Chains A and B, each alone.
Chain A
Amino acid sequence: MRSLAGGAGRPARAEVNVGFVALSDCAPLVIARERGFFRRHGLRVVLHREPSWANIRDKLAAGVLDAAQALAPMLLASRLGLDGLALPLIAPLSLGLNGNAITVSAALFREMARLDPESVLRRPMTARALCAVIEARRRSGRPPLRFAVVFPFSPHYYELAYWLGAAGIDVTRDVEVRVVPPAAVPRSLRDGEIDGLCVGEPWNHVTVDQGLGRSVISKHEIWNNSPDKVLALTEEWADRHPERLQALLRGVLEAQAWLDRPENRREAAHVIAGESWVDAPVEVVAASLEGRFRIDRDASVAQPDFHVFHRYAAGFPWTSHAAWFLSQMLRWGQIEKPIPVRRVAASVVRPDLFREAAEALDMAAPTIDGKTEGLHDRAWRLDDASQPLTLGPDRFFDGRRFDPEDVAGYLEQFEVTRLHVRLDDLALMDA
């Protein structure tokens, strides 16, 4: 029997070490800790800020961290051994949707506007103007444009590649992509080391705020309500501590629900801006959290879904999201052999664990694991759920659809690809 608080027999709260990176979308973890959602479920969570995604992965492998914020594709890459480690990591929960943007240097934007003044005014903007710039640079013998992303296996890379690809630009040939740590992005842009970037907030805002660049498109505009960060754990830890895992998931889920109440976003900005977390001025963090996408020093556009943490079943780890990332890893030649896409996706993404936590909180959860992406340009009702759910639009900016049951057929549609596998081999493997 549990004794009263403070008594000698009080059960010690289980300590869980959780890693995060100083980005606005670490909010669910920080809020869960700072607003007592972890405590409520009997956990003492110690949050560790890590300077690199590689650290997050390795510290999970080493058991120094029990769980961590991670880029969804990192887990897939590791499962496939693309990172040289082949770790059995799982994602029982998505930490949120959207949250990134593509920003180009002020000079590059001027060049785009000069060569294609009409296309740079459209929303969502296409990369057509960039195509003109790349052509012009090639003709005059100037070096290729350089873009920064945060990790080779990152939503950022696939978003950038997808956006460029739709305009006929091959991310692997027509531009140079390199990894730059987010905090170093403003300086790299200022020093002309890079011409553009795809990173998470608050770094687009910081770059624009300093007059260094112009944000051209948000992740939400590229693919409405698309996946990004997940809560990652090793399979081993999850198996060994099923109760702690469920408590952890419940704490994060409640924090996500809290975060999506509009009246809480300002308070959330104050909390996560703190020195131990994102360590940035409150106003810088608040803008995107409150749905303002700053595109220029003196211009913002309203994007209420810039960060989505809870609504639209944002925490649910869809296998179709994982399958889309795998499709892009294939498309750009990162995966060099045919793989059983759906099986790999299902081995990493664990909706079963999510449902258990949601049910305990009486929160609605989808009863299906995957869906066709790109079918909805407005919010819609999902009946395949424990209680009817409103899901958000899931449209790709170029209007394409992604059927996770037919990745080979999907990849066949693209003109710009760097496939290393034959699509009929892939279809066979994925059958």
Chain B
Amino acid sequence: MEKLRVMLIDHRPDRSSEIAEGLERSGCQVIARTAGGPDLAREVAGVRPDVIIIDLESPDRDTLEGMQRLSDALPRPIVMFVDETDRDAIRTAVRAGVAAYVVKGASAERVRPVLDVAIARFEEHQALKDELHQVKSTLEERKITERAKGLLMKRRGMTEQEAYAALRKLAMDQNLKLSAVARRVLDMADVL
């Protein structure tokens, strides 16, 4: 039997490679790995996977849902959990932070083990790294935002509130996270 062709959408590249490795080891072929984005529908159409595995933090889930019903021309991915009638199974996948989409044609029985592997991998990754990572990065992000605010207050004579508002406006305009904008502001400290 031919190997199942899997597309993996994960916004975190560090995790993505680990998950892909696990999937490959379990006998399927990871034909595409992406962080998602505006081209996703086209990528799916180009790659023609049997299964799509996607992390739940990705806003691109709705794009996949849209492919089901808004276009006849594109492949139609249908969301699948291990067993649709079994709420515990849905819970396991959701708690692990992963969902699977079956693209028309692939049989649910063949997809099930793939999702199981993905769930296990996501869980493992989460348990080992997520918490630490989260705590660290939140702290880090907060620190960076505070420093950027301080910089604006000092160099631009802004109040704390004004500095925060300025950062947030930049973040909104550029469609970036607050901490990313703060980092840029710090990077440009010399120019400011």
Interface, chain A (partner B; CB < 8 A): 51-55, 58-59, 61-64, 82-86, 149-153, 157, 176-181, 183-184, 186-188, 191, 193, 206, 210, 275, 279-282, 284, 334
Contact = CB atoms under 8 A, between A and B. Distances in A.
A62 B95 contact: yes
B143 interface: no
A157 B169 CA distance: 29
B90 interface: yes
Contacts of A191: 38
Interface string B15-49: 00000000000000000000001100100000000
Contact of B58 (A51, A188, A280): A51
A113 to B, nearest CB: 26
Contacts of A179: 62-63, 65-67, 70
B64 to A, nearest CB: 8
Q: Which 8 A-B pairs have the closest CB atoms?
A: A179-B66, A181-B59, A152-B69, A62-B94, A52-B61, A54-B61, A62-B91, A51-B59
Nearest to B168: A281
Nearest to A185: B175
B38 A193 contact: yes
A187 B90 contact: no
A322 to B, nearest CB: 18
Contact of B90 (A62, A151, A186): A62
B61 A178 contact: no
B69 A82 contact: yes
B94 A83 contact: no
B58 A52 contact: yes
A61 B87 contact: yes
Contact of A183 (B64, B68, B71, B175): B175
Contacts of B87: 61-63
B168 to A, nearest CB: 6
Nearest to B101: A84
Given A62-B87, A63-B91, A85-B84, A52 B70 contact: no
Contacts of B65: 52-54, 83, 151-152, 179
B172 A188 contact: no
B120 interface: no
Interface in B67-98: 67-71, 78-81, 84, 87, 90-91, 93-95
A328 to B, nearest CB: 12
24 contacts: A51-B59, A52-B61, A53-B62, A53-B65, A54-B64, A54-B79, A63-B91, A64-B91, A64-B94, A83-B68, A84-B84, A86-B84, A177-B66, A178-B41, A178-B70, A178-B71, A179-B63, A180-B38, A181-B59, A184-B38, A184-B59, A187-B175, A280-B172, A282-B165
Contacts of B173: 210
B153 interface: no
Contact of A151 (B58, B62, B95): B62
A180 B36 CA distance: 12
Contacts of A83: 65, 68, 79
Contact of B66 (A64, A82, A151, A193): A151
Q: How large is the interface on B (under 10, 10 to 19, 20 to 34, 35 or more residues)?
A: 35 or more
A59 B172 contact: no
A54 B99 contact: yes
A284 B172 CA distance: 10
A183 B62 contact: no
Nearest to B56: A55
Contacts of B91: 62-64
Contacts of A177: 66, 70-71
B119 interface: no
Given A52-B59, A52-B60, A187-B38, 19 more contacts: A51-B59, A52-B62, A55-B61, A61-B87, A62-B93, A63-B87, A64-B94, A83-B65, A150-B62, A152-B68, A178-B66, A180-B63, A183-B59, A184-B38, A187-B175, A193-B38, A279-B168, A281-B165, A284-B172
Contacts of A176: 71
A300 B62 CA distance: 31
B112 to A, nearest CB: 15
B38 A188 contact: yes
Contacts of A180: 38, 63
B178 interface: yes
Nearest to B72: A172
B129 to A, nearest CB: 20
B57 interface: yes
A281 B169 contact: yes
Contacts of B67: 179
A236 to B, nearest CB: 9
Nearest to A281: B169
B63 A181 contact: yes
Nearest to A193: B38
A370 to B, nearest CB: 26
A187 B174 CA distance: 9
Contacts of A82: 69
Nearest to B94: A62
Interface string B157-188: 00000000100110011010010000000000
Contacts of B90: 58, 61-62
A279 B169 CA distance: 10
Nearest to A55: B56
Contacts of A334: 69
A180 B63 CA distance: 6
Contacts of B59: 51-52, 181, 183-184
B122 to A, nearest CB: 14
- For B41, B81, B99, B175, the residue with the greatest tally of chain A CB atoms inside 10 Å of its CB is B175
Contacts of B94: 58-59, 61-62, 64
Contacts of A206: 172
